[in-house]
Structure 1
């Protein structure tokens, strides 16, 4: 499939697009591409960060905005997907195909590389019944940094992952407050969802009294490890009941226009927030619509759009109210501030031709 090659964030070259056979699933946990990718029908397309796009990501080699690419396949954009940490076989493209063939996974799978600090994939105490291989489990491990991935899953895909992981039996779905997970565009996925051990067989294996990192011992060696189950995985987590909605993360809004403190719609948003508004800046360009409110579009270089970060008390309740206020002229997306915090904000949908750029001191009440 073509001879085009590019260099990824790790410096490795990757053909575009790539097929599953380049990343075999065996032995567990399988091989991983050297790039973020979107996967469909046995093939993967690398995805690169791009702040000039609405989604913040661009699909190679055609350079299409990831949201546009997903829409072209009739699938939800990134704002309607939930981030789930993939530290085992779920980051393997051939495993994604297995999920399609065996468990009915549908639609493109968006899998973005992530740096995990204070978290490690370690070998679990029990072997898999299906093939006798030793699976991975997640553990807190201070001073350790590993590279894994984050799925941005649709609601249907999350249900398939539940079935695959044996939610409630082998693994449990939790929000992980330990460590720090950072995507390769600098976005910090705080309180990331993850499947962690639900019983003794999926607790970390203690060999010579210590967990064994998957990065240090391969599957062949892991199958012959001796030891005992750890009493726990050391993680600070909140169990998830039911199915999380995409609107639950993040719980912050970047307001740059009439929703800011002291401006005309502050009375609408203030009851939906907690804590004090925090001055902040985001990337993009602010335009004057001539209608009494500004239009934010990506681009412009640097964090040159002033605004405020507002903490939403209940994003699931607040965001529908704000969506209605913003109307069809805007679309809600996740944006990343210079410090890595991810916030909801509203981008102008239409063209900005003929709109003047607003000066930094713009205020309208």
Structure 2
């Protein structure tokens, strides 16, 4: 499906509303399907013609995926009509990027209290061992996250946290560890226990949920870290895939070494590596053979990444990529076409400098 869809194809009522069965980008009452593509710099393509998602976002004057934060959307925030409501009522701006995800060990369950606005029962998030559900991850800009904070009543109805329970996997295989999410902040948004158990939204619709009677749970069972202040896109992930001069023992290793904790781990990333002839290689997204390199864990990405961005310069774009095992890490890809640059099938070594 490459044609845009409109909000009326996914009504918002009853809560939590209808969801597209695919990833989408949404703007001005219309949505475009988004599909994974390892040959795109962003890893995704959108809309008619299959534009790179980052190029599509840039065309609207908005930040790329690397400038956005992953927020789990397990309730109405995955509904396109709700996105339009956020625009009209709370001033949401720019395209919304909503990528479908498989959630293991997590479930959307009905909350103990009803919404004051319309009397419907909202969803809340809870640990659910052995359960698998499909939800979405909204890749939000800093401005969009502030709108979501207002919508969710951050600090009153819901708290913004990083969730360490379960596993959230995007359709391209990327595992979003420590995903941001809004979880219950008071008894009204704690899971409703009926006969001692929470009730999954997947098992009971809104009409049935409104009639439920029970008591609020003491806990949602989640392992979370509350977020204080405003998170930034550089917070996640805390890993870097180095394939050129930033690798241990090579020319730029002293630049990154002070930010690295633990031992570098050999790793490989699908792509194509080329010799620029300038003393450093060019990585371009591609399927097929993997580019060898090292996985580095950063003690504080917010400190390290600006330094590395300056070193890499405008020739490279910093993007999030998924290793074959699903680990997400930062890396730097060559912005331009490689033309007739020689291919480096064995990886980058000092002799090429």
TM-score range, shorter chain: over 0.9
The reply to whether residue 236 of structure 1 matches residue 227 of structure 2 is no
CA distance in 2, matches of 1:146, 1:191: 17
CA RMSD of aligned residues (A): 0.9
The reply to whether residue 24 of structure 1 matches residue 24 of structure 2 is no
Secondary structure at the aligned position of 2:39 is classed as coil
| Residues 271-321 of structure 1 deviation map (CA, whole Å, 9 limit, x = unaligned) | 10100000000011000001111000111x235100000000000000000
CA distance in 1, matches of 2:65, 2:298: 20
- Equivalent pairs, count: 351
Find the partner of 2:141 among 154, 162, 178. 154
Secondary structure at the aligned position of 1:357 is classed as coil
The reply to whether residue 293 of structure 1 matches residue 273 of structure 2 is no
The reply to whether residue 105 of structure 1 matches residue 92 of structure 2 is yes
Aligned pairs (5 A) from 1:1-365: 6=1, 16-299=3-286, 301-364=287-350
CA distance in 1, matches of 2:289, 2:187: 48
Equivalence for 1:10? none
Secondary structure at the aligned position of 2:350 is classed as coil
Secondary structure at the aligned position of 1:52 is classed as coil
Equivalence for 1:12? none
Secondary structure at the aligned position of 2:136 is classed as strand
Unaligned ranges ≥5, structure 2: none
CA distance in 2, matches of 1:40, 1:105: 10
Secondary structure at the aligned position of 1:231 is classed as coil
| Residues 30-70 of structure 1 deviation map (CA, whole Å, 9 limit, x = unaligned) | 00001100000000000000011000000032210000000
By how many angstroms is 1:354 displaced? 1.8
TM-score by length of 2: 0.98
Secondary structure at the aligned position of 1:327 is classed as helix
Q: Which runs of 4+ in 1 moved over 4 A?
A: none
Secondary structure at the aligned position of 1:118 is classed as strand
Q: Is the 1:281–1:303 contact (alpha carbons within 8 Å) kept by the matching residues of 2?
A: no
| Residues 218-240 of structure 1 deviation map (CA, whole Å, 9 limit, x = unaligned) | 00000000000000000000000
Q: After the TM superposition, which of the residue ranges 35-44 and 347-356 deviates more from structure 2?
A: 347-356
Unaligned ranges ≥5, structure 1: 1-5, 7-14
CA distance in 1, matches of 2:215, 2:348: 63
CA distance in 2, matches of 1:361, 1:316: 28
TM-score by length of 1: 0.95
Equivalence for 1:3? none
CA distance in 2, matches of 1:101, 1:167: 20
Q: Is the 1:273–1:310 contact (alpha carbons within 8 Å) kept by the matching residues of 2?
A: yes
By how many angstroms is 1:361 displaced? 4.8
Secondary structure at the aligned position of 2:311 is classed as helix
Q: Is the 1:303–1:338 contact (alpha carbons within 8 Å) kept by the matching residues of 2?
A: no
Q: Is the 1:32–1:91 contact (alpha carbons within 8 Å) kept by the matching residues of 2?
A: yes
Q: Is the 2:281–2:348 contact (alpha carbons within 8 Å) kept by the matching residues of 1?
A: no
CA distance in 1, matches of 2:56, 2:308: 26
Q: After the TM superposition, which of the residue ranges 49-58 and 324-333 deviates more from structure 2?
A: 324-333
Q: Is the 2:291–2:345 contact (alpha carbons within 8 Å) kept by the matching residues of 1?
A: no
